[in-house]
Copies of this chain bind each other. A is one copy, B any other.
Amino acid sequence: MFKAIVSADTLRTTIDSVGVLVDECKIHLEEDGLAIKAVDPANVGMVDLQLSNEAFESYEADGGVIGVNLDRLESIAGMASSDQLIELELDEETRKLHIKIDGLEYTLALIDPDSIRQEPDIPDLDLPATIVVEGSDIDRAVKAADMVSDHIALGVDEDENVFYIEAEGDTDNVDLKLDTDDLIDLTAGPAHSLFSLDYLKDMNKALPKNGEVTIDLGEEFPLKLHFETAEGMGEVTYMLAPRIQSD
Contacts and interface: CB of A to CB of B under 8 A. Distances in A.
B76 A106 contact: no
A237 B108 CA distance: 35
A172 interface: yes
A245 interface: no
A122 interface: no
Nearest to A106: B174
A22 to B, nearest CB: 20
A246 interface: no
B140 A79 contact: yes
Interface stretch (A32-40, A141-149, A212-220): A141-149
B107 A141 contact: no
B177 A109 contact: no
Contacts of A76: 144, 147
A117 interface: no
A23 interface: no
Consensus secondary structure, chain A interface: mixed
Given A75-B147, A79-B140, A144-B79, A103 B178 contact: yes
Given A76-B147, A176-B104, A109 B171 contact: yes
Q: Interface residue tally of chain A, by bracket?
A: 20 to 34
B140 A107 contact: no
Contacts of A109: 171-172
A106 to B, nearest CB: 5
Interface in A138-173: 140-141, 143-144, 147-148, 171-173
A175 B72 contact: no
A62 interface: no
A185 interface: no
Given A79-B140, A105-B176, 16 more contacts: A72-B147, A79-B144, A103-B177, A103-B178, A103-B182, A104-B141, A104-B144, A104-B175, A104-B176, A105-B177, A106-B148, A106-B172, A106-B173, A106-B174, A107-B173, A109-B171
